Chains A and B, each alone.
Chain A
């Protein structure tokens, strides 16, 4: 039996976030800047890279709708 999810209200957004440890979470309030998203997650922009839908973005890029955000931790060591 197919399950059809209810259409989401147009004002709502679901942003998928993939954290450095590869775990996933969603956030359904938007739009939001990458920087504030990082702040929410307790991450320092100097210590991570962020991609949006497979493309590297800067901290003031805006994340919204069905964007997939991926966060990479810059590990120390050379």
Chain B
């Protein structure tokens, strides 16, 4: 599949509200033709009202959760896939309203053949277009080999292995860039899936911890400005800007529990609009009830690398042993 040429729908040109027959519903706020139907509110939105809606909701998420302070240097975990592309575009748009804030993209090359080359090319084009400095970190340089090589024969563990290594790579990139906040492109669907997955795994501590407040082992606060925007909304946002990345799916995704949960939640969402938001609300309620009740283990330090961890040896060092990655 060819990437590079984004916006396959109109050859890169933003979509216009050109002559539209009456067979298309109108915007609930103006006479423009609707590009999005919000199944929760029942509202139809045209291109301009849709874009304004997304940007004001992200602004509100950032504001209400105090995600970004004046003078912050925000790192954007930019894979070049759709979510991080949308994150970079939206934060760039909001930048003038954020006092003295700077952005730097952090791109991780895990080494996934037939997938990552395309998204990295897409990321490189994007930072050039938006004139945003970029720091790149590759698994090969950091760990001595590609993710593909590490995963030979352990494909079903792909997301776990990749997650642990990526986290380290992001920290390395964050240190290199000297950022004060790390923003990732996690959207409403991702968050809802995580809540559900932690429930399925019977992992309550993780359910409560695995959020913006998850700072264990992170010396830089992580923020998720898109956490209240659905995956579909982000896709529409990109399409309307002629920035739809026509990219392949990660080849390891098929092995992930997340994909099963994703399909299931999408099925529920279409029948019962609001399901994903309700999952986030459930999590917030559990968090509120658990405040102080969950035993917070004292932060310990890894015997091998000294990073903060919950046991004797951190996840990364354990994984490195298993994968035969030398030294740290």
Measured CB to CB, the residues of A under 8 A from B are 31, 44-47, 49, 51-52, 54-64, 70, 72, 74-78
Contacts and interface: CB of A to CB of B under 8 A. Distances in A.
Contact of B37 (A60, A75, A76): A60
A76 to B, nearest CB: 6
A64 B15 contact: no
B32 to A, nearest CB: 11
B179 interface: no
Tell me the dominant secondary structure on chain B's binding face.
mixed
B36 interface: yes
26 contacts: A45-B270, A46-B230, A46-B232, A46-B269, A54-B9, A54-B15, A55-B16, A55-B18, A56-B9, A56-B47, A56-B236, A56-B240, A57-B34, A58-B24, A58-B36, A62-B23, A72-B239, A72-B244, A74-B82, A75-B248, A76-B258, A77-B247, A77-B249, A78-B79, A78-B81, A78-B185
A62 B23 CA distance: 5
Interface stretch (B55-63, B168-176, B259-267): B259-267
Nearest to A21: B1
A55 B20 contact: yes
B18 A77 contact: no
B83 A52 contact: no
A72 B250 CA distance: 17
B66 to A, nearest CB: 24
B210 interface: no
A60 B23 CA distance: 9
Contact of B24 (A31, A57, A77, A78): A57
Contacts of B253: 76-77
B222 to A, nearest CB: 14
A19 B235 CA distance: 17
B9 A72 contact: yes
Nearest to B256: A76
Nearest to A55: B15
A46 B44 contact: no
B44 A76 contact: no
A20 to B, nearest CB: 10
A52 B19 CA distance: 12
B193 to A, nearest CB: 9
B249 A76 contact: yes
A63 B21 CA distance: 10
Nearest to A58: B37
A75 B16 CA distance: 24
B25 A56 contact: no
Given A77-B249, A78-B185, A49 B33 contact: no
A67 to B, nearest CB: 9
- Among B9, B24, B253, B258, the most chain A Cβ lie within 10 Å of the Cβ of B24
B34 A58 contact: yes
A60 B36 CA distance: 10
Contacts of A74: 82, 231-232, 235
Nearest to A52: B24
B17 interface: yes
Given A56-B239, A75-B82, 20 more contacts: A46-B270, A47-B266, A49-B232, A54-B10, A54-B18, A55-B17, A55-B35, A57-B33, A58-B24, A58-B34, A58-B36, A58-B44, A61-B34, A64-B23, A70-B9, A74-B231, A76-B231, A76-B258, A77-B247, A77-B253
